[in-house]
Structure 1
């Protein structure tokens, strides 16, 4: 099995989604199917078809989440001691060498990544270029527009 890295917060979010799917969504879908069945002929019943499709989505997502959580390696960034190197879970302050803009990213698992929240996937090109670097190092990232260089300003484990 492939191990799935997750931060503590990411694991909690997946557990909460799984709990919601099992305790709220699944019963709602079952009720919708029962309601649609009570309308008679299932061959021409759009409500029934929609409810069965929704059931398939919910059950698939439940299986997906259970698999990910079952194979998860939960990492607490605050407990990491990587001697200032960038590792999974680290929060990194960077300076774009071309524009001079400063950005901060946290390196997280694929399921936690959200660029709006400044959380980038460990498998993204920028995270792969940053892993192992320390403050003061330059990371070269292969971007669609060409190579971009970032200077690592600070590495935090929060």
Structure 2
């Protein structure tokens, strides 16, 4: 049996919304484009047909990928977990780099939801692994490729999405 992947409520909703878009809008549009391109005759030299078939392949591949992810997902609703003050999956953490005094804010999410530019880091990332279980005021040491980085945990927030 495959291991379940943690995901936030918002992450699961985003995947379900994308799946619905692919199945109810994109797939029929691509099927229509293939049908129209077939009407133009010789398929060997028909660029529209080949482009539509390629789009169809990407679309079907993404549908399979999302369905697979959703079948192995464990949705974690942070609002249903008692707040302990500790960093856990789904919390938002404000960190201060002990060396540079630079402040960063991250939300700990599932691997598929991670986006550093949106302030979301994977629960399996080195930073998240160093933070899990710590509290405000604690120092976490992150072993980064460029060496160890110390972060002081300024704030831990247990926010709804």
Normalization by structure 1: what TM-score? 0.94
Deviation of the 1:82 alpha carbon: 5.2
- Aligned to 1:98, what secondary structure does the other structure show? coil
Deviation of the 1:99 alpha carbon: 0.7
**Structure 2 segments unaligned to the other structure (5+ residues):** none
Partner residue of 2:130? 129
Contact 1:79 1:157 in 2 (8 A): no
Structure 1 stretches of at least 4 aligned residues deviating more than 3 Å after TM superposition? none
Q: Output the CA distance in 1 between the equivalents of 2:41 and 2:102.
A: 63
Q: Output the CA distance in 1 between the equivalents of 2:80 and 2:102.
A: 29
Partner residue of 1:93? 94
After superposition, residues 8-157 of structure 1 pair within 5 angstroms as 8-81=9-82, 83-157=84-158
**Structure 1 segments unaligned to the other structure (5+ residues):** none
Residues 46-84 of structure 1 deviation map (CA, whole Å, 9 limit, x = unaligned): 211111111011011111111111211111122222522
Normalization by structure 2: what TM-score? 0.93
Residues 109-129 of structure 1 deviation map (CA, whole Å, 9 limit, x = unaligned): 111112222111112111111
Number of equivalenced pairs: 158
Deviation of the 1:2 alpha carbon: 2.4
Moved more, 89-98 or 137-146: 137-146
- Aligned to 2:82, what secondary structure does the other structure show? coil
Moved more, 48-57 or 140-149: 140-149
